[in-house]
Structure 1
Amino acid sequence: MDLAFLGRVSTEDAQDPVSSRMWQLKRARDLVEPMGHRIVVEFFDIGQSRSLPWKRRPEAAMLLEEMKRPNRRFDGIVVGEPQRAFYGHQFAMTFPVLTHYGCALFVPEVGGQVDPDSDAHEMMMSLFGGMSKSERSRIQKRTQAAMRELAARTDRRLGGRPPFGYMLADAGPHPNPARAATGQRMHKLVPDPVTAPWVAKIYEWGAVGEGLRSIAQHLTDQGAPSPSAHDRERNKHRDPRGWSHATVRTILTNPTYTGFRHWAKQEKYEQLLDVEDVAAGNATRMRWRDQSDWIVPEQQTHEALVDLATWQAVAARYQATAREGTGTGAGRCMERRPKNAKRIYPLAGHVYCAHCDHRLAGAYRKPAAKDGNGRILYQCDFAKRYALPEEIKDGHPPVNLNQAIILPALDADLADLFSDPRAVAAALLKDDGPSPEQRTLHDRRRRLQQEIDNLVGFIASGKASDAIATALATKEAELAATKERLAEIGKPRKRPDAEEVVAALNVIGGAVGALAHATDEERRDLYNALDLRIRYDATEKRAHYTVSPLLSTASRSDSRVRRGT
């Protein structure tokens, strides 16, 4: 009998995926090969929790899909360990499906094939599912208990990103001998010489009663690096220009700046993915815990940037504003409205403001009359969320792009564009300057060099410290990595065959031609495939767009075809 091997390893197991796969596969082979069976295909999920049902594990889901086909490659399934394959009641939900499609199941603990008519086999497999659930729960409780004790009674850094104003410094070898032997180190929070002075400034402004918008504007006007500008690697998704009002509030209410680490401010909980389908399993969510339940150590864990009295006075003011729902960031203390998952915005993520280059956000506007139709608008909320930099502070008009107006013009223009695949192919294969990644790397190189010069200036002025030396070494390493990446992507690459590009564009052209009858979901998928980017000028009421189809085929990832509509 030809069999499919099914295995799984998760991050919770703290195992090497390669070795885990090897021993599970060996167990499976030792079971079935003496019976004359052979394993012809393997499905192995990495980083997937055992609590996920098979349909939500990528490899297991692929196995289930192939099992339904008449020309499938296997007649049965073999697992290396039942606790890794089944969790809780998953066996009772999955095995009847296998039986329906005539797919056998082999388990080492059963000694061979599971008999669908055997009550003993069913009880045994259900027991393994219960053991798997119990094992996961036990690991979670042990880990949480250990972390709580470490958080309450030690000054060890327990992981996570350092808040703005701090940086990580070496604190010696890891206390676990096995981890120390592999080179792992402990870390501690130390003030960042570049950003720590700005945290003190923020609290000075907050202490005299300035509002969040006012403080954000002060920081932007004075050139203070925002968290997203200071560390682009961990904040790539945020706009580096200007300070967000919500960011200022987060800093003003963060107790870490008092020198005491606060742990367990949020907690994970599991919620049914679909209350009408329990077999779909749970989804892990995060929620804020009550402040009285936060774990605070008995002694100071790192250097304070703000004294406790100042923090309490400032934080109380902004926390009270949030509870009243009158300030930026009030949503944290309020129940969020459920999202309307049925509404799809086809142009979401593709439209940018020509004045500030901020991505427009989709919004639905209800009809004025009961028998009217609602509108979908794409709006620029940069000024609502951020303090405006000097270069765009003046002349930023309200931006409201009506989807019903732009879609017909866009679709007609795309159809015209892809009516000549050879012209599009020529434009895609044209070398037209540095790529977006190269421009980003050049900007990062200039910024890092400036920060290094600033740190060297600190040392030259007699303000040297271990923290400054560590920061200098870190920035120099980042600069070296940036230069190395620039050199790597600057190498010439093999250009694709023009005829292959034309053939692929013909297929895309067919999809574009059917846009007039497409659903919003189909439009969204096609716009994503085209890597559509629209730049909308609200003053001129004109949109310029670019498309980058065949990113994997074109010789340059920034090869674009540009048009206006």
Structure 2
Amino acid sequence: MELLNVCIYLRKSRADREAEARGEGETLARHERILLDLAKKRGYNVGAIYKEIVSGETISARPVMQQVLREVESGMWDGVLVVEVERLARGDTIDQGVVARAFRYSETLIITPLKTYDPNNEYDEEYFEFGLFMSRREYKTIRRRLTAGRESSAKEGKYCGSKPPYGYSRVKLVGEKGWTLQPVPDQAEIVKLIFNLYVHGVAGERIGMAKICRKLNDSGIKTMDGGLWTVPRVQAILRNPVYAGMIRWNSRKAVKHIQDGQITISRPFAKDYILVEGRHPAIVSKELFQQAQDIVNQNPARPLNSLHVLRNPLAGIIRCGKCGYVMTRKAPSGRQVDLLRCPYSSCNNVSSKLPLVEKALLDGIQELVDGYKLNSNFSDQEYSLSISEKEEMIRGKLKEIDVLRKKKEKQYDLLEQGIYSTEEFLERSRATAAELSACDTVIHSLRQEIKHEQELQFQRSSFIPKCEDLLAHYWTWDTSTKNQFLRELIEKAVYTKNAKNTWKNGDDISFTLDIYPKIQQK
């Protein structure tokens, strides 16, 4: 019998979750036992077991499946064990084609308890593709049923979201299917505070969203996820009718678009959506909620100007070293020059003149160039030697794998001869499988390191000339060109400043700027 190096792929479907809810046991554990028994019966060497917890429609939403496909395409496995072919792909015809092509071109078998599919066998290929087609059809039927069920629940005033909004907890309805919301006292008071500050203000003076954020953050009040308050978070609360006791559903449907051959998803605001009385208690009155809507509608967001001219050469590059936000340009007033500041109002990171930060960034790039030139010869020799050593290590591990494969074959012979008991065979087989898996892991890691170092050599040879070109021409370029070239070379730069400069020392660089170039450092 041929010794196949295989992996096991386990994925939980919606039907599995329903079965678990009925008390039929944990699905992935049951499937794992079935496939391990199959591998034992057929003498396969199981190198890895992959478990997909998420139930994604497409391959892009299933990271474990992406990893399996990468390994299949690289020829890492002789076969993949699944309980049924439908577990591999339930996406559209493009996703199904990606899966079929990966297995066909890598000549990787798809092994199920009922049948082994050889993608290079014409009849097996047709059977496999038909199975994926039926799986897709079943998926659409299930999805239509679930969508209709959620819509029906929303019309009944039940809460259909997977996560509760700030101010509420999600609770199961008693005696019937579905969920509703229950106010969280401490958070509910914060929601009331936000609405009252926005509508009534303090001492008759209304407070905007930015000032509300600052007040909440200065008071040490955290968001649901423990983060800081921002204008979009406050606006989301003010716009959400759930706080007035209503249920809104399908207000932002996912709309798919094709852009450069890739599927992108947007969620525009819909005009036709479900808005009904909810079965949960309101936190604010409908009158207060409507007053907030009137004020928000009087201050709409400014439309994007297609003729917008970039004025910050460091746009998107400099990040605040204290809160992580992208630093922004502040337009000059009077005789002052442009400033670079953290947009987050409660952050105490001190701003600096934009030209000073610009100069510090260029000085840092110059240091990178000088450091490379100083050590360039030594680095090239070091990398070449390192690659040669890793290639020799890979050859050693491949020889070790050959020895282990022969050892595994002998274990099966000893089992058939009755020299090994079943328990002893399983113990030794697992140990051999672990050694084989460890060898594969080391080889994969070494190959990744070789690839990384080869890319690194290429990057170093191309990165430095680009830096030199930027340094030579930077001050002759317009703002947009400066930003474009800096983005090609710099991943980010982290800015930190703790104290303001004195009036006489206004042009001193008294901040730190940690630069992260796109060239990878060893």
TM-score by length of 2: 0.57
Using the TM superposition, give the Cα deviation of residue 161 of structure 1 relative to its aligned residue in structure 2, in angstroms: 3.3
Work out whether 1:261 is the aligned partner of 2:247.
yes
Partner of 2:108: 103
Partner of 1:80: 83
Amino acid at match of 1:400: L
On the 8 A contact 2:103/2:109 being kept in 1, the answer is: yes
Partner of 2:509: 542
Could you tell me how far apart the structure 2 residues matched to 1:318 and 1:233 are?
23
User: What is the aligned-residue identity percentage?
Assistant: 12
Could you tell me how far apart the structure 1 residues matched to 2:110 and 2:160 are?
46
Partner of 2:273: 293
Work out whether 1:195 is the aligned partner of 2:175.
no
Selected match of 1:234 from 221, 225, 238: 225
Could you tell me how far apart the structure 2 residues matched to 1:251 and 1:38 are?
56
On the 8 A contact 1:152/1:296 being kept in 2, the answer is: yes
Could you tell me how far apart the structure 2 residues matched to 1:45 and 1:518 are?
44
Partner of 1:563: none
Partner of 2:325: 359
Could you tell me how far apart the structure 1 residues matched to 2:162 and 2:297 are?
26
Could you tell me how far apart the structure 2 residues matched to 1:32 and 1:107 are?
10
Aligned residues: 386
Work out whether 1:311 is the aligned partner of 2:289.
yes
Q: Which has the larger radius of gyration?
A: 2
Partner of 2:7: 5
Q: Residues 317-396 of structure 1 correspond to what in structure 2 (within 5 A)?
A: 317-322=295-300, 329-330=301-302, 348=317, 350-352=319-321, 359-361=325-327, 379-380=340-341, 382=343, 386=345
Q: Residues 19-38 of structure 1 correspond to what in structure 2 (within 5 A)?
A: 19-29=26-36, 31=38, 34=41, 36-38=42-44
Using the TM superposition, give the Cα deviation of residue 83 of structure 1 relative to its aligned residue in structure 2, in angstroms: 0.8
C-alpha change, 1:158 and 1:358, in structure 2 (3 Å) is closer
Q: Which runs of 5+ in 1 are unaligned?
A: 180-184, 323-328, 338-343, 366-376, 421-506, 550-565
Between Structure 1 and Structure 2, the one with more helix by share is 2
On the 8 A contact 1:207/1:314 being kept in 2, the answer is: no
Selected match of 1:93 from 73, 91, 98: 98
Work out whether 1:118 is the aligned partner of 2:151.
no
Could you tell me how far apart the structure 2 residues matched to 1:200 and 1:60 are?
45
C-alpha change, 1:187 and 1:91, in structure 2 (3 Å) is closer
Work out whether 1:409 is the aligned partner of 2:363.
yes
RMSD between aligned residues:
5.0
Work out whether 1:276 is the aligned partner of 2:234.
no
C-alpha change, 1:295 and 1:535, in structure 2 (3 Å) is same
TM-score by length of 1: 0.53
C-alpha change, 1:313 and 1:128, in structure 2 (3 Å) is same
SS at match of 1:199: helix
Partner of 1:131: 134
Q: Residues 488-503 of structure 1 correspond to what in structure 2 (within 5 A)?
A: none
C-alpha change, 1:540 and 1:546, in structure 2 (3 Å) is same
SS at match of 1:262: strand
Could you tell me how far apart the structure 2 residues matched to 1:98 and 1:269 are?
31
Selected match of 2:494 from 527, 533, 557: 533
Using the TM superposition, give the Cα deviation of residue 79 of structure 1 relative to its aligned residue in structure 2, in angstroms: 2.5
Could you tell me how far apart the structure 1 residues matched to 2:72 and 2:159 are?
50
Using the TM superposition, give the Cα deviation of residue 105 of structure 1 relative to its aligned residue in structure 2, in angstroms: 3.0
On the 8 A contact 2:69/2:99 being kept in 1, the answer is: no
On the 8 A contact 2:183/2:283 being kept in 1, the answer is: no
Could you tell me how far apart the structure 2 residues matched to 1:201 and 1:271 are?
40
Partner of 1:143: 146
SS at match of 1:195: helix
Amino acid at match of 1:303: A
Q: C-alpha offsets along residues 511-535 of structure 1, whole Å, 9 cap, x if unaligned?
A: 999874478678556x6xxxx7322
On the 8 A contact 1:8/1:21 being kept in 2, the answer is: yes
Work out whether 1:47 is the aligned partner of 2:38.
no
Q: C-alpha offsets along residues 309-339 of structure 1, whole Å, 9 cap, x if unaligned?
A: 44334413422542xxxxxx456xx8x98xx
On the 8 A contact 1:535/1:545 being kept in 2, the answer is: yes
On the 8 A contact 2:342/2:351 being kept in 1, the answer is: no
Using the TM superposition, give the Cα deviation of residue 21 of structure 1 relative to its aligned residue in structure 2, in angstroms: 3.6
C-alpha change, 1:170 and 1:133, in structure 2 (3 Å) is closer
Could you tell me how far apart the structure 2 residues matched to 1:414 and 1:524 are?
11
